[in-house]
Amino acid sequence: MIEVLQGDIPKLQVDAIVNAANKTLLGGGGVDGAIHRAAGAKLREACRLLGGCPTGEAKITPGFQLPAKWVIHTVGPVWRGGAQGEARLLAACYRHAFELGLAHGVNTIAFPSISTGAYGYPKNAAAGIAVRLMREYDARFERIIACCFTEEDVSIYESVLHGTKVPSREK
Ligand code: ADP
């Protein structure tokens, strides 16, 4: 089942939360910073041992102090206008996160809107890719959560899921 909710992803009681990390995996701003603050210093140490992660791939650590058992770290593409393989790389993030989850017995998984913060990916297009991959994996998970930070993101995901169009702020 695919659910859209508004909230703070580190607080979710799920088997795995997905982190929109950067290639160093050493922590950053946005959702990455929030996850590291909530999980505690052991998460940074576990990430350091992973030695980074290429764009479009994913790596897994325990959740440490989080309610979630696992954190799946993936590195979204930086938006550079759309002709630099961004869509393929963003889809790869979701696919690799789902596959890692399946390999670790994850039944419930929550995603932030990868790449749509500091990395500048247009929100409607990113939600379209997220929902496409969520549908592809829906049958293999009990719950797939799109954890939105803002009300605007909730309405974007709802409209993509239900096939309605929201007025776009993107030009
Ligand atoms: P990226 O570098 O991949 O763009 P960001 O963390 O800057 O990553 O933003 C990714 C998305 O995460 C954005 O939609 C942002 O609003 C959202 N976000 C930021 N903090 C949180 C949080 N605590 N829980 C869920 N989503 C968050």
Residue nearest to atom 21 of ligand 1 (CA): 31
Instruction: Name the residue range of residue 25's domain.
Output: 2-161
Q: Is residue 167 part of a domain?
A: no
Q: Is residue 168 part of a domain?
A: no
Q: Is residue 137 part of a domain?
A: yes
Active site residue 15: no
In this structure, what is the dihedral angle of CA atoms 112, 145, 42, 38, given to the nearest 10 degrees? Answer: 70
Mutational test site, ligand 1, from 4, 23, 90, 149, max ligand atoms within 8 Å of CB: 149
| Tokens encoding 110 | 């929550």
At 82-102, the pLDDT tens digits run: 999 999 999 999 999 999 999
Q: What is the 3-state secondary structure (H, E, C) of 40-109?
A: CHHHHHHHHHHCCCCCCCEEEEECCCCCCCEEEEEECCCCCCCCCCHHHHHHHHHHHHHHHHHHCCCCEE
Question: Is the CB of residue 55 below 6 angstroms from any atom belonging to ligand 1?
Answer: no
Say what the pLDDT of residue 8 is: 98
116 in a structural domain: yes
How far is C-alpha 127 from the chain's CA centre? 11
Nearest atom within ligand 1 for CA of residue 28: 6
Could you tell me the CATH number of the domain that includes residue 104? 3.40.220.10
The residue nearest atom 9 of ligand 1, judged by CA position, is 117
> In angstroms, what is the C-alpha Rg of the chain?
15
Tens digits of residue pLDDT in 142-171: 999 999 999 999 999 999 999 876 555 554
Residue 113: pLDDT above 50?
yes
Judge if the beta carbon of residue 145 lies within 6 A of ligand 1.
no
Amino acid 6: pLDDT: 98
Q: Does a structural domain hold residue 128?
A: yes
Domain count, the chain: 1
The helix or strand, by DSSP H or E, that contains position 132, with its residue range, turns out to be: helix 123-137
Give every strand in the sheet of 108-111, ordered side by side. 2-6, 143-148, 108-111, 16-21, 70-75, 58-62
Catalytic residue among 8, 15, 32, 153: 32
Confidence (pLDDT) at 171: 43
